[in-house]
Amino acid sequence: MTHLADLPAHEIARRIRAGELRATEALDAALERIRAVDGAPGRLDGGRDEQPDKVHAFISVTEERARAQAAAVDARLAAGEDPGPLAGVPYTAKDIFTVKDVLSTAASRILSNFKAPYTATVVERIEAAGAVMLGKVNLDEFTYGSSNESSAYQPSSRNPWDPSRVPGGSSGGSAAAVAAGEGAISLGTDTGGSIRQPASFCGVVGLKPTYGRVSRYGLIAFGSSLDCPGPVARNVRDAALTLNTIAGPDPRDSTAANAPLPDYTVALEDGVKGMRIGLSPDYDKLTFFNHDTGKMESREMPEEISKAVLAAAEALAAQGAEIVEGVPMPHTRYGIPCYTVISRVEAASNLHRYDGVKYGHRSAAKVKDLRELYRRSRAEGLGQEPKLRILMGMYVSAAQYSEQYYRRALQVRSLIRGDFDDAFVAKGAHKLDALLTATTPTTAFGMASMYGDSVLMQFADQLTVTANHAGVPALSLPGGLSAERLPIGIQLIGPDFSEATLLRIGRAYEVATADAAWRTERPAVLAQLK
Ligand code: GLN
């Protein structure tokens, strides 16, 4: 029998709303799973190599708050009310979202004492729909990274499929938790790939919505023109249900779009007959930075990843989709260099607010003036990655360099957007409903294998970052297992506000591969459980 912790969110909510299961029971099952697989939560003084066989998804487990929420859901049901579409579903929130009176750290020492005075819109909304927060999960410091290892809270999260490997990042805690049954869904954020890359590494579903589809209010900012909150889930329906609850206009975020909010579950089962799904050779090669020559070089995509994409295309073709090959996306290879400039400028700007005065870590050293207080508080509170990003962001936006770097990067960003416009536009040569690509250039890599090389680490996002530049939505789905039995992710990218279409294609892909042998495999940390 399926353990309650492994049930899909939609099934948990159905049972609870039907009176077959109590929210408190669903919560107990999730807490039991956390005790079985998670190990010590990340802490400021924690050791990197502590309990190397555990998942370590959490920074804080908010059990008391969760118990009160679950009891409230049960009470509402007892009173004959409907607690909502996610009634009693245990979920986790990346510790980059503020939750009133709960520690909201961004995995940084500088916010290690920060209890937020207000709650992020997405958290408020998912909880209004009945979901119960288990706690806050780990991430790369301020979301800067692709492995979780840059968190100031150690041990950082590990990959449930192989705990000697990273879960990806920056929403690594979110993806690891969902893959390990520590909550059915998680809220993550994606600036360059931070929902999709970890989802791909951990074999779960991750959706980066259209920029502005989901409010950023209460999201501790990284790159304000790129950041998108979104769901991580174990299946497409749960991602759609979650998007239903969190998306929509928000008077507290002027960049939240006023576009009408569809029900993302209605057309889920309608299939892909007649849809045009594209493949691009520009997403089937990799660009890497060669440290020795200082040049960008192209490499072949690992064969098993290319094959997974082709297999997905075939599966969708068998369901009636039309596969359009050879779609040119010529600016894809500039995605990372251009992101490295733009995101650093925005990061440096957003990090100015941490000064040790208003909130967060303040240096205890004796200082002679306010400037020294700022300097010391920031030097003590910020880790290496934020410091690097401040330096680079200040450099490329400085008066004498901004023409050469920042302005050019913005121009390249428009060209990347142009590639998507050409691929999707109704009067164009391709008229795609979606582009199908791999999510990541590799499967999950080993802990410590890349950490410290922030340039190489950045290239983990080369297939995801273009959607952030263009503002378009993108969905990552589990697309098979590698020879090493590690998840491979496939990605669907669509035009603005096409989430419903992407989810529908994703669901058709799930149906087409429902009987695939790899679907029966479970993460190693779960296979050990009785
Ligand atoms: N890995 C990317 C970075 O380091 C993306 C992070 C993100 O999407 N938040 O910037």
pLDDT in tens, 8-35: 999 999 999 999 999 999 999 999 999 9
* Ligand 1 atom at minimum distance from 454 CA: 4
Band (188; pLDDT cuts 50, 70, 90): very high
Which one from 146, 156, 170, 397 is the annotated catalytic residue?
170
Give the mutation target among 351, 461, 462, 468 for probing the ligand 1 site: most ligand atoms within 8 A of CB.
461
Query: Is residue 45 included in any domain, yes or no?
Result: yes
Tell me how far the alpha carbon of residue 231 lies from the centroid of ligand 1, in angstroms: 16
Evaluate if residue 1 carries a pLDDT over 80.
no
Provide the pLDDT for residue 18. 97
Structural domain tally of the chain? 1
Q: Letter for the amino acid at 439?
A: T
Whether residue 192 has its Cβ less than 6 Å from ligand 1: yes
Tell me how far the alpha carbon of residue 125 lies from the centroid of ligand 1, in angstroms: 25
Give the mutation target among 226, 340, 341, 343 for probing the ligand 1 site: most ligand atoms within 8 A of CB.
343
**Residue 108 appears among annotated catalytic residues:** no
Range of the domain at 44: 4-266
- Structure tokens of 343? 């995101």
Whether residue 148 has its Cβ less than 6 Å from ligand 1: no
Whether residue 46 has its Cβ less than 6 Å from ligand 1: no
* Ligand 1 atom at minimum distance from 190 CA: 8
- Taking a C-beta distance cutoff of 8 angstroms, is the pair 6, 153 a contact? no
Mean predicted confidence (pLDDT) in 187-198: 98
Query: Is residue 298 included in any domain, yes or no?
Result: no
Whether residue 194 has its Cβ less than 6 Å from ligand 1: yes
**Residue 186 appears among annotated catalytic residues:** no
Whether residue 222 has its Cβ less than 6 Å from ligand 1: yes
Name the residue at shortest CA distance from atom 4 of ligand 1.
145
pTM above 0.85, yes or no: yes
Whether residue 264 has its Cβ less than 6 Å from ligand 1: no
- Structure tokens of 473? 């939505």
Tell me how far the alpha carbon of residue 170 lies from the centroid of ligand 1, in angstroms: 6
Whole-number Å distance between alpha carbons of 212 and 224: 11
Mean predicted confidence (pLDDT) in 75-80: 98
Question: For the chain, what is the mean pLDDT?
Answer: 96
Provide the pLDDT for residue 2. 84
Query: Is residue 390 included in any domain, yes or no?
Result: no
Whole-number Å distance between alpha carbons of 198 and 162: 13
Provide the pLDDT for residue 287. 84
Provide the pLDDT for residue 457. 80
Query: Is residue 188 included in any domain, yes or no?
Result: yes
- Taking a C-beta distance cutoff of 8 angstroms, is the pair 134, 93 a contact? no
Query: Is residue 274 included in any domain, yes or no?
Result: no
Only one residue has tokens 């299961």, namely: 21
Whole-number Å distance between alpha carbons of 142 and 351: 9
Whole-number Å distance between alpha carbons of 324 and 124: 41
Which one from 104, 112, 146, 194 is the annotated catalytic residue?
194
Provide the pLDDT for residue 450. 85
Whether residue 198 has its Cβ less than 6 Å from ligand 1: no
pLDDT tens digits, one per residue of 333-391: 999 999 999 999 999 999 999 999 999 999 999 999 999 999 999 999 999 999 999 99
Evaluate if residue 452 carries a pLDDT over 90.
no
Whether residue 461 has its Cβ less than 6 Å from ligand 1: yes
Tell me how far the alpha carbon of residue 13 lies from the centroid of ligand 1, in angstroms: 32
pLDDT tens digits, one per residue of 303-332: 999 999 999 999 999 999 999 999 999 999
Whole-number Å distance between alpha carbons of 443 and 459: 13
Provide the pLDDT for residue 294. 85
**Residue among 242, 328, 313 at smallest CA distance from 272:** 313
Whether residue 393 has its Cβ less than 6 Å from ligand 1: no
Give the mutation target among 143, 211, 442 for probing the ligand 1 site: most ligand atoms within 8 A of CB.
143
Tell me how far the alpha carbon of residue 153 lies from the centroid of ligand 1, in angstroms: 18
User: Which residues on neighbouring strands pair with residue 159, listed in sequence order?
Assistant: 162
Mean predicted confidence (pLDDT) in 496-525: 97
pLDDT tens digits, one per residue of 111-158: 999 999 999 999 999 999 999 999 999 999 999 999 999 999 999 999
Whole-number Å distance between alpha carbons of 348 and 227: 15
- Cα within 13 Å of Cα(245), Cβ side: 27
CATH number where 144 lies:
3.90.1300.10
Tell me how far the alpha carbon of residue 138 lies from the centroid of ligand 1, in angstroms: 14
Which one from 54, 60, 94, 200 is the annotated catalytic residue?
94
Burial class (CB in 10 A: 0-12, 13-18, 19+), 514: exposed
Whole-number Å distance between alpha carbons of 515 and 175: 23
β-pairing, 434-438 with 474-481? unpaired
β-pairing, 185-190 with 228-233? antiparallel
**Element (H or E) spanning 437, and its range?**
strand 434-438
Evaluate if residue 41 carries a pLDDT over 90.
yes
Tell me how far the alpha carbon of residue 357 lies from the centroid of ligand 1, in angstroms: 27
Query: Is residue 351 included in any domain, yes or no?
Result: no
Tell me how far the alpha carbon of residue 165 lies from the centroid of ligand 1, in angstroms: 18
**Residue among 208, 242, 212 at smallest CA distance from 224:** 212
Query: Is residue 345 included in any domain, yes or no?
Result: no
Whether residue 464 has its Cβ less than 6 Å from ligand 1: no
Evaluate if residue 443 carries a pLDDT over 90.
yes
Q: Angle CA(177)–CA(163)–CA(149) in degrees, nearest 5?
A: 75
Tell me how far the alpha carbon of residue 191 lies from the centroid of ligand 1, in angstroms: 6
Evaluate if residue 65 carries a pLDDT over 90.
yes
Taking phi over 0 as left and psi of -120 to 50 as alpha, with beta for the rest, 143 belongs to left
Band (528; pLDDT cuts 50, 70, 90): confident
Give the mutation target among 144, 225, 344, 456 for probing the ligand 1 site: most ligand atoms within 8 A of CB.
144
* Ligand 1 atom at minimum distance from 222 CA: 9
**Residue 343 appears among annotated catalytic residues:** no
Question: Dihedrals φ, ψ of 172, to 5°?
Answer: -65, -40
Band (200; pLDDT cuts 50, 70, 90): very high
| Distances, alpha carbon 341 to alpha carbons 223, 400, 403, in Å | 11, 15, 12
Whether residue 144 has its Cβ less than 6 Å from ligand 1: yes
Largest CA distance in the chain: 72
Query: Is residue 195 included in any domain, yes or no?
Result: yes
**Residue among 381, 506, 485 at smallest CA distance from 433:** 506
Provide the pLDDT for residue 511. 98
Whether residue 280 has its Cβ less than 6 Å from ligand 1: no
- Taking a C-beta distance cutoff of 8 angstroms, is the pair 491, 463 a contact? yes
**Residue among 15, 138, 126 at smallest CA distance from 69:** 126
Tell me how far the alpha carbon of residue 372 lies from the centroid of ligand 1, in angstroms: 30
- Structure tokens of 17? 């709303």
Q: What share of the chain is helix, strand, coil (3-state, %, to 5)?
A: 40, 15, 45
